[in-house]
Amino acid sequence: MQTAPGVSALDGIRIRPATAADTGRIVALDQAVTGLPKPDYWQDMVARCQPPQDRRRFFLVAEDGDAIDGFIAGEIRSWEFGSPPVGWIFAVQVRPARRVRGLGTRLFEAVCDCFRDAGVHHVRTMVARDNTMIHAFFRSQGMTAGPFLELEMRLD
CATH number of the domain that residue 16 is part of: 3.40.630.30
What's the gap between Cα 38 and its chain centre?
Answer: 16
- Nearest residue to 94 via CA among 47, 134, 123: 134
CA-to-CA distance for 45 and 99, rounded, in angstroms?
Answer: 23
**135-153 per-position pLDDT tens digit:** 999 999 999 998 888 889 9
Task: Write down the mean pLDDT value for the chain.
Answer: 88
Contact 87, 81 (CB under 8 A): no
- Give the model's confidence band at 98: pLDDT under 50 very low, under 70 low, under 90 confident, else very high: confident
Tell whether 76 is covered by a domain.
yes
Q: Which domain holds residue 128?
A: 2-140
Q: CA quadruple 41, 149, 93, 89: dihedral positive or negative?
A: positive
Ranking 13-22, 77-86, 102-111 by mean pLDDT, the lowest is: 77-86
On whether residue 152 sits in a domain, the answer given is no
Q: Note whether residue 145 is domain-resident.
A: no
Residue 93 lies in a domain: yes
1: confidence class by pLDDT, cuts 50, 70, 90: very low
pLDDT digits (tens, 9 = 90+) for 45-68: 998 888 766 688 999 999 988 889
Answer whether residue 7 shows pLDDT above 70. Answer: no
Total domains in the fold of the chain: 1
- Percent with pLDDT over 70 in the chain: 92
Q: Is 151 inside a domain boundary?
A: no
Confidence of residue 3 (pLDDT cuts 50, 70, 90): very low
Nearest CA to 17 out of 55, 40, 50 is that of 50
User: Do the domain assignments include residue 54?
Assistant: yes
> How far apart are the C-alpha atoms of 105 and 103, rounded to whole Å?
5
Residue 13 lies in a domain: yes
Whether 127 is in a domain gets the answer yes
| CA proximity to 118, closest of 61, 78, 145 | 78
